[in-house]
Amino acid sequence: MAGLCGTLATAHAQKIAPYGALPSKAQVNWQDMEYYMFIHLGPNTFTDKEWGHGDEDPKVFNPTQLDARQWARTAKLAGMKAIIITAKHHDGFCLWPSKYSTHTVRESAWKDGKGDVLKELSAACKEYGLKFGVYLSPWDRNHPAYGTPEYNQVFVNMLNEVLGNYGSVFEQWFDGANGEGPNGKKQEYDWPLFHNTVYKKQPNAVIFSDVGPGCRWVGNEEGIAGTTNWATLNITGFAPGSAAPSQAVLNEGNMNGEKWVPAECDVSIRPGWFYSESTNEQVKSLQGLMDIYYGSVGRNGNMLLNVPVDRRGLIYSADSIRLMEFRQIREAIFKTNLALNAKVTTSAARKGVKNSSLVDGKTNTYWATPDNELKGSVTLDFPKSVTFNRLLLQEYVPLGQRVKAFSIEVWQDGAFKELATATTIGHKRVLLLPDVTTSRIRINILDALACPVISEIQLYKAPGLLALPEIKRNKNGQVSLTCASPDPELHYTLDGKEPTFSSPVYTGHFDLPQGGIVKAKAFLEEGKISSATVSAGYDIAPAKWKVVFTDGQADGADPVRAIDGDPASYWMTNYQPDASKYPHEIQVDMEDTLALKGFTYTPRHQLVRSGTIYTYAFYVSLDGKNWGEPVAQGSFANIANNPVIQSVKFDKPANGRFIRLVALAPANEKEHWASVAELGVITK
């Protein structure tokens, strides 16, 4: 690795000894990319599922207007550097005509079985100057060999097809999903064989999994890295999936970890990963995307943003519009680097490095302290006062990640005053600060693992964004609107139309007991400034509902919390020592007999000790005594990692006054209890 540093660094790099685990050249290039697109496409796009079961008719896959050039063009215009596509998801459906499966585009209705999505996308990426990456799930719910030793070679054969026939692949995406095979057997994945196969075909590919080896999962599907985030990780004794390090460790990495395995922060622009028409109004807001950017790229990670392709085979307009807005606001924020005009002085610098390297806008130059000096300070002096609210720092990571803690001070009233403290820097760290006007700024390196090597200090003044309104409805069906920005005027609609400044003004809560769609927007300066639109859909309010039976609850987790209209509260059963205490259930009297089309389950939004339900059965009864067979049963796919509201439609409507949710298995197999943040019904 020392040789790598000599090739990547400036001429004086060889004077600084590398520290700890180091990135390969491919990993350095990977982290420089920072932001790229994920695309989920497959039969799930047409069946409205997150995890298909592998038993779907392949002919359901028929995106008649599929245009990979539109995807690539959108990604390019959005400022993204690459596209990774779900070449094979858990259902086993292959987006290329694999010789080793009968569940592929060859058997689909799309292009009469003569299409190849990977061929079209790899060509489109090449045309638009984007890198091409592939996701192949090792779990296969369709292939008959899954769960047997023979399957590993089947999977390798598929890898060879994908990695050998579509040009350069910058990233190979593996997850650790491992479902039941025949006779209840789980597949024993041969990870060394998989990795060797990748490197034989694509020696420069970065391999993603919970433990790399190229990059790691960040521990959540919200796209947010830890405020402390090391690019190094201890991987000995761990493996993808259930044998991975804890989510907390994945979120923060390990200081002095044995391998360089930086975090990739995957998140979807919608609540789910695959396209669903029901989420067309739920594309993430501009502010939400900026929060994710700061929490990923701004915390030493890469941002992998999923933009699901719709049933036509195109990126939906609401998604692409938001992507363009997201690029515009990023460019507005990082347009003018105020630090370029600063005079730089430092407390100590090693011989041969220049203070000016810190503010030259180049990532391959740097400043460093002498050996064994683990602290140091950099002062920026400006000819006249500047106003800023963003601080961007970068370490020269080819020599290792070093900084453990730092602070920023500003000169005010004749003295330096501390503005903020933080921990790791790594490839890039962005601190969000209040607006500050000053003529002097001091960054103090408070602690480091070895002499700190800093490549960039940048300052920006980000324009303010009007906060989004927040829509809430209580148990009685009363809707309230709030906004964090000072003194906005809130306007809303109930007819599905986009709110304008002439729409009704919110003056106090209003009643919506039978449900409907609420859209709201915040305005300032007589409508000249506006926020993005937020939308919330509601069904029947649980005003008269009563819980009539549960099988016990934990202290302070009253079952009425499951039907109080507040997703922040929850009902939870008592902790149980083993899985034999399952199932758990809750029964509700709705007081009125309703024609139900489905139900909704909102999980407790906490990954640790959450009690999230995975496998369920749902019943409807007229009298609360005779329940019959469940009207719906199955699993909430991917709910452990993506704990969003789950909507389940019945095969046919069911009339009843009583509803019953039975938790058959937990999302975390170590949790032998169940929880419900909100239980609702679908009548519309």
pLDDT per residue as tens digits for the range 617-628: 999 999 999 999
Tell me the C-alpha distance between 144 and 164, whole Å: 24
Question: What is the structure's pLDDT at 564?
Answer: 96
Average pLDDT along the chain: 94
Label residue 3 by pLDDT band (50, 70, 90). very low
Tell me the C-alpha distance between 266 and 255, whole Å: 22
Report CA-CA distances (Å) from 239 to 32, 192, 434, 669: 26, 11, 42, 17
CATH 2.60.120.260 positions along the chain are: 338-460, 546-682
The answer for residues whose C-beta is within 8 angstroms of residue 612's C-beta and 6 or more apart is 603, 604, 636, 639, 640, 643, 666, 667, 668, 671, 675
Query: How do strand 206-209 and strand 215-217 relate by DSSP bridges?
Result: parallel
CATH 3.20.20.80 positions along the chain are: 34-332
Assign 152 to helix, strand or coil. helix
Count of beta carbons in the 10 Å neighbourhood of residue 107: 17
Tell me the C-alpha distance between 60 and 52, whole Å: 12
Q: What is the mean pLDDT of residues 257-282?
A: 96
Q: What is the mean pLDDT of residues 599-625?
A: 90
Assign 155 to helix, strand or coil. helix
pLDDT tens, position by position, 280-318: 989 999 999 999 999 999 999 999 999 999 999 999 999
Asked if the 469-538 domain carries CATH number 2.60.40.10, the reply is yes
Residue (of 532, 534, 410, 389) closest to 463 by Cα position: 389
Angle (CA) 63 66 67, round 5°: 170
The answer for residues whose C-beta is within 8 angstroms of residue 528's C-beta and 6 or more apart is none
Question: What is the structure's pLDDT at 607?
Answer: 57
Q: What is the mean pLDDT of residues 523-546?
A: 93
pLDDT tens, position by position, 108-123: 999 999 999 999 999 9
pLDDT tens, position by position, 23-46: 999 999 999 999 999 999 999 999
* pLDDT cut 90: percent of the chain above it: 86
Residue (of 21, 7, 12, 20) closest to 450 by Cα position: 20
Tell me the C-alpha distance between 288 and 222, whole Å: 10
pLDDT tens, position by position, 132-159: 999 999 999 999 999 999 999 999 999 9
Q: What is the mean pLDDT of residues 567-576?
A: 88
Label residue 553 by pLDDT band (50, 70, 90). confident
Choice among 3-7, 94-98, 399-403, 511-515 with the minimum mean pLDDT: 3-7
Question: What is the structure's pLDDT at 582?
Answer: 77
Question: What is the structure's pLDDT at 608?
Answer: 59
Question: What is the structure's pLDDT at 190?
Answer: 96
Sign of CA dihedral 283, 286, 288, 293: positive
Asked if the 338-460 domain carries CATH number 2.60.120.260, the reply is yes
The answer for residues whose C-beta is within 8 angstroms of residue 97's C-beta and 6 or more apart is 104, 105, 106, 113, 116
Residue 14: pLDDT over 70: no
Residue 10: pLDDT over 50: no
Encoded amino acid at 56, one letter: E
Question: What is the structure's pLDDT at 291?
Answer: 95
Assigned architecture for domain 34-332: Alpha-Beta Barrel (3.20)
Assigned superfamily of 546-682: Galactose-binding domain-like (2.60.120.260)
Q: What is the mean pLDDT of residues 466-479?
A: 95
